[in-house]
Amino acid sequence: MRVKKYNAPTMAEAMEKVRDELGRDAVILHSKKVEKGGLLGFFTKKSMEVVAAVDPETPVTETQVKKKALKKVPQKSNREQEVMRQELRELKSLTSANSSGPRTVLSGGPEKAEERLFELEIEEPLRSEILHALLKRWYREEEPEESSLDSWLEEEIQKRIPETPDLSGRKFINVFGPTGVGKTTTLAKIAAKAVVQEGKKVGFITTDTFRIAAIEQLKTYADILDVPVKVAYSMEDFEAAKAAYEDFDLVLIDSAGRNFRNPLYVEQLKELIDLENEVENYLVLSVTSKYRDMKKIIEQFELIRVDAFVFTKFDETETSGVVLNAVNEYQIPVRYITVGQNVPDDIRPADRAEVAALITGRKSVQ
């Protein structure tokens, strides 16, 4: 296996060098942007660095024949060829850690897995980590099949989804999140399952007094389910509502997302509720969000412990890699996913296998 490094001002020029010298059957193993020269960080020259390889058994092109003038290349021994093949395998497992640079191109089955990771919008370095694991598995197989890569990819994704702990003994569920993610609807779905399927005595408390529409929407759901709802405009109101629900099985709290940016509000809430033992805190996020925006949302709620994510709107997107990005980076499990607007049908307890299947697209939300 012949391996060579090239430098050129652009990727197109680098590829032209590769084709001219190694032929069209060459494989790009690694590529990245590099900067050279300059003074104090200024006037640097940018170029592309490309590592390419070609199998010695690959027939040379007409261009190569002309350039090499039919120069005879001595044959390598079987042992040398095997060593070079092993070196290529190791080189193929290297992927660029620079997310701003061009992506690595791999030949054969792994190329499809790499393309799929890009389609899913998996972030670096997680994308490289998963691809590295797939490549190791690919080259361990004597006769790997491309059809196996789909299931391998799903397994690697599932490994990176944290297990959801059992918090079923907690009485209060505190649901919070930004406007527009379906927070109130999600709360109604949880309540409907508890009332209809589990026969629990359920009550609502809402502190989301910034949006009148949210209060009216929650009251509508409460009337349908025949459960009470208390509106807390102050901490005194919240304490009174908590006392009124003393004999209830489950109390669902619809919290105003804006409040959790205020340290004073969080401290006051901690005085009323034992956040460590009494409450499950769910942060509701939409799968349709860009991951950069999702990270900002998560950071806005960093003053309160997040026990689990609830991801909504799986039915409104074809790419849900943001879910894996979030749970892997913050190591927070998924409690529920929602796949539509119907109450209570379109909410599901999060199963790691199902979430992984939804992320890869193997399983439909329907």
Phi, psi at 124, each rounded to 5°: -75, 150
Residue at 63 is within a domain: no
pTM across the whole model = 0.68
Q: What pLDDT does 65 receive?
A: 43
The string of pLDDT tens digits covering residues 178-187 is: 888 888 889 9
Residue at 62 is within a domain: no
* Listed residue (44, 344, 311) closest to 161, CA to CA: 311
The string of pLDDT tens digits covering residues 204-252 is: 998 877 666 778 888 998 999 999 999 988 888 888 999 999 999 999 9
Domain span at residue 249 reads 172-360
Which of 13-22, 29-38, 309-318 is predicted with the least confidence, judged by mean pLDDT?
29-38
The string of pLDDT tens digits covering residues 250-270 is: 999 988 766 667 777 777 767
Residue at 121 is within a domain: no
Looking at mean pLDDT, say which of 8-12, 273-277, 286-290 comes out highest. 286-290
Q: Helix, strand or coil for residue 193? A: helix
Q: Hey, CA dihedral for 172, 178, 184, 187, is it positive or negative?
A: negative
**Order of strands across the sheet with 2-8?**
2-8, 45-54, 27-36
Q: What pLDDT does 77 receive?
A: 57
Residue at 329 is within a domain: yes
Residue at 179 is within a domain: yes
On the question of pLDDT at 286 being above 70, the answer is yes
The string of pLDDT tens digits covering residues 3-17 is: 788 888 887 788 788
Q: Which whole number is the average pLDDT over 37-48? A: 60
- Better-scored residue on pLDDT, 74 or 7: 7
Please say whether the beta carbons of 9 and 48 come within 8 A: yes
In this structure, what CATH number is given to the domain that contains residue 216?
3.40.50.300
How many domains would you assign to the chain? 1
Q: What pLDDT does 255 receive?
A: 81
Please say whether the beta carbons of 30 and 94 come within 8 A: yes
